[in-house]
Amino acid sequence: MRLHFNCGSRHALLTTGALLCGAAVSVAQTQTTPTPGQAIPGTTGVSPFAGSVPAKPVPGVLAISLPDAINRGLKQNLGALLSDADIRSARGQRWEQLSALLPHATVGPYVADSEVNLAEVGLTSLPGVNVPASIGPFSYFDARLAVTQSLFDWKSINAARASSHTLKSAEYSYKDARDLVVLAVGYTYLQAIADEARIETAQAQVKTAQALYDQASDQVTAGTSPAIDALRAKVELQTRQQQLIQARNNFAIQKLTVARVIGLAPGQEFDLADKSPYQPFEAVAVDEALKRAYASRSDYQAALSETRAAEFARKAASAGYLPSLSFDANYGAAGGHPSTATQVFDVRGTLTIPIFQGGSVHGDVLQAEARLEQARERLDNLRAQIDADVRSALLNIQSSAEQVAVARSNIDLAEETLVQSRDRFSAGVTDTVEVVQSQEAVASAHEQYINSLYNYNFAKISLARAVGLAEEGVKRYFKGF
């Protein structure tokens, strides 16, 4: 019996998603180039939730909203598809275990004709008897219906119960996989929105830097400013142009990541239909959120089912010491020829009592006990992790909401400072150093606002995932999308 938390097992792809990294993801706070197929928060390494089975291409340019992206991801994301296949596999394993408790019926009619070489069996001569070289031919016919039924096998009974709970675990894991798809799509989509906003900010900064450079050049030409002011303004302009180039590249690659997660056809053109508005969040008490999480988190329910399966597996292993009772019967016709066949049957009951099995049962018990202990420990760990996930998401929502408010104020102050600096430069009171510094402050304020808004929206998705209601939570927390 494999436990669903073991590395490499069919559930390891899903339970790693419970280890959420928090809403304040450092990726969103950098300008590094993203990589298609990158790891998704809540998963480990390059996750199957970062991939998909591509759909067929659609002519034209698609307008993809966040709900559209989530719906596509739930249908095409590789993590969800693999989890759905795990359910069918678990259902097949359950039927294998039930097979030991169900009757088995077979029919095997046969007709045979044979001749025996006596010399081959050692009969070459007998005193006073003329031994022929062979005897026969002999004809045989036998046609019977055979039925085998286990009347009592405590080991098979508990193994079947364990497989039923394993199937339940697979079904819960599929629900958890859908929550992880929502998390993965939300992460990549919101990151793409943030990258698109950085392009708009970078374009505005390029225009401002160009205006400053033109103004500085005119003043140098007029002899009212030194040449270094124009040089300094040109450096600032080219710096902003480089940032715009990088922002466009980051956005293009992030769109590839979105396409991979939601299963768009390779090369499919699409635009992001949603932006990233700020919507106030209705406060949720920690105790209430935890109560929802323990009742709704599918990975927690899967862990409970898998622990129960391990308990029955332990009982099945111990049942190897107990006797079992089976029933065998066959009925049909037999004779030398089908035309001369007569009724035949055989009925028997067998009581199998294990006496010594070379320690195999003891070995099975030890392994089952170890797996049960691991399942219980990992269940306790997951319960504590859910507590941490919920508390972290709530803290991130509160913190990022405050950061959004401060970032908005900083943008207004920075832009006002830039206007005053440009007026002072026009009046000849200061040089371009002050103007460049003010422009950098504006750019920094916009970047902080983009980061804080991204963190705020992703924190809401993280909370929806933390309480186990990702699909419903997105509809609730992003009503404007």
Instruction: List the single range of 70-84, 276-290, 347-361 with lowest mean pLDDT.
Output: 276-290
Residue 363 corresponds to which amino acid? G
For 307-383, strand residue ranges (E) read: 324-335, 342-352
Q: Please identify which residue in the block is written with the tokens 């450079």.
A: 213
Q: Residue 42: what pLDDT? A: 58
Q: Residue 297: what pLDDT? A: 92
Q: Residue 46: what pLDDT? A: 64
Tell whether the model's pLDDT for residue 10 goes beyond 50: no
Write out pLDDT tens, residues 431-465. 888 888 898 899 899 999 999 999 998 999 999 99
- Structural contact between residues 424 and 436, judged by C-beta atoms closer than 8 angstroms: no
Provide the 3-class DSSP secondary structure of residue 450.
helix
Dist CA 388 CA 4 (whole Å):
21
Name, in order, each residue with C-beta under 8 angstroms of 406's C-beta and a sequence gap of 6 or more. 452
- Structural contact between residues 16 and 47, judged by C-beta atoms closer than 8 angstroms: yes
| More confident site: 160 or 127 | 160
Tell whether the model's pLDDT for residue 15 goes beyond 50: no
Q: How far is CA 461 from CA 21, 47, 59, 186, 473, in A?
A: 12, 19, 31, 7, 7
Name, in order, each residue with C-beta under 8 angstroms of 3's C-beta and a sequence gap of 6 or more. 9, 306, 310, 371, 374, 375, 378
- Structural contact between residues 140 and 336, judged by C-beta atoms closer than 8 angstroms: yes
Please calculate the CA angle 25-259-53 and round it to the nearest 5 degrees: 115
Q: Residue 340: what pLDDT? A: 87
77: its two tokens: 């994301």
- Structural contact between residues 220 and 235, judged by C-beta atoms closer than 8 angstroms: no
- Structural contact between residues 122 and 312, judged by C-beta atoms closer than 8 angstroms: no
290: its two tokens: 């935890």
Tell whether the model's pLDDT for residue 13 goes beyond 70: no
Dist CA 236 CA 439 (whole Å):
9
Residue 89 corresponds to which amino acid? S
Instruction: List the single range of 8-17, 90-99, 205-214 with lowest mean pLDDT.
Output: 8-17
Q: Which residues of 323-354 are buried (b: 16+ CB within 10 A; e: fewer)?
A: ebeeeeebebbbbeeeeeeeeeeeeeeeeeee
DSSP-derived secondary structure for 32-49 = PPP-TTPPPTTS-SS-GG
Q: How far is CA 407 from CA 22, 31, 410, 411, 466, in A?
A: 21, 18, 5, 6, 27
Q: Residue 39: what pLDDT? A: 60
Provide the 3-class DSSP secondary structure of residue 272.
strand
Tell whether the model's pLDDT for residue 219 goes beyond 90: no
Other C-beta atoms closer than 10 Å to the C-beta of 291 total 13
